Structure 1
Amino acid sequence: MTKTEMMEERETMTLDRALLESELNQTYFPANFSIAGSLSNYALHLLDTVDSTNSIAWSLLKAQPSQNVAVIAQRQTAGRGQRGHQWQSESGGLYLSLGIHLDLPVSRALLLTLTSAWGIAIALRHQQIPVKLKWLNDLVVDGRKLGGILTESRIRQGRIYQAVIGVGINWTNAVPETGISLQRICQEQQIPPIDRLETLGAIVIQGISISLTHWQQQDIAAFLPAYESLLMNLGQSVVYQNIPGQVLGITPTGELRVSLQPGSSEAIPQGCGQRCPVEVCLKPGEVGLGYGEQGSGRVGGRE
């Protein structure tokens, strides 16, 4: 049996395909953004238990090289996150991966994650969920993690030609202290609930697809203020190479802009020849932003 046949065998009716298709025809994004062409050419794969929805999406892209795919599972046994982290993702969350064909310069790799996160946040905010963004890849409500995103890409001749965008969102599943679920948010804030996983899946697919389509057609300079308007880290105090600093925003290629203020006792970072505020641009993993004093938690199947 081929891997594609094995995946087809794991298809489940627990997730309602007809309902998801119907939900995708609803509008979950602000009306001033065009939906036309954003949601076309997605083959839907609804699964029960998988190792990783990202892995399944990559296998499907290989088997169907001209087809974009959307994979949703109810449970993951080896969900993937940032910097190689793996864990189980139990039922009650949304575990979704979009496999897409595209043509982007490799310099915009981080922006795939940022525009995807922004799109999901806008779609959820359109449903009255007060989502903000934590750089690089987290969806946050009231300082607690609602979900996370992991983007993987394939590069040829300096350009990204395929990508898989994996999303994990806490729906009704149990979460650690640093996390929060949609169910709890709706209860605490008296917001109309998102009571079907298919509805949440449609919201996420629309958010990512419309955002990617929109921002690929716009100057990236226009994206920066849109993203930063939802960025919870603006003005946050951080420490980089033992030097205190403050988050200023993001660069056009998605790095974090930080203003450092070396004191008399700190070493000056390489390239900084004075003890006055110095701006540095940091890549993922170079500075900790955390969730309070407890650091970031494993939430939503991605980290």
Structure 2
Amino acid sequence: MSKFPWNDRAGKLSAIKIAALLAAFIPLVFITTGYKVNILGPRPITEAIHQTGDWAIRFFLISLAITPLRHITRWNRLILIRRILGLTALAYAALHFSLYIADQNGNLLRVASEIWLRIYLLIGFTALLGLVALGVTSTDGMVRRMGRNWNRLHALAYPLAALGVLHFFMQSKADVTQATLMAGFLIVLLLYRFAHARGFALSSPWTLLAIAVLAALATALAEYAWFALATRIPPTRVLLANLSFAYSIRPMWWVLAAALLPALWVGIKPAADRQARKLNPVTPK
């Protein structure tokens, strides 16, 4: 097996791994450039903290999406980038925490005190420690050494993602649009996992359609629940905003659109394959 992250297991250059590695650095380039040219606002470190945290949860959810997407698309090479994406999530989470330490002038006692006293920081720190554990044990050698315990440990990925989303909600205050979007995507992934475990084929467009609709409704309810429990903003007004497109498109509709794409793929691809076979019939030798 190659030691280079851009090669596949046979040691050959992998286009999909190169693409994943490039994608991993793009947000960092934008954040760094924004800081250098002073476009991150009046508190650039704080903005950089938020952006690195946002990308940590995004990359983590994308890494969790690899397995169901592999089942849906039957493209097994997707598995080559799951580790890269997971480690990218860890790298952004570590940078997120490092920038927070820098914002506290490197005072580790103060950082520890803040984590202990503020529940949303404690939740985020717990998620970070979990990501570190997953990252450290992500190598092939650790998989072999840990055996079944590796599966038990990495089954914590979804609870850790839920902690990350909760941390996102709690630090977002009133504007939880992005946090709700991440919660919606996590719901989609959980429904994929549930459907697969119950024997529902992820290659069925009807299964994927049902997941898309259920995830969209659950996203709207999650947003409603947050405003009902954690803010003084009337939650019914937020719920009804999902029916209006005058000002913005609410997260439930983005979740619905994203979750419908795999259903469309599964529904259209067989017909496209049949048409391709008609246009290019295989001539028997």
TM-score category (smaller protein): under 0.3
Between structures 1 and 2, the one with greater helix share: 2
Larger gyration radius, structure 1 or structure 2: 2
TM-score by length of 2: 0.24
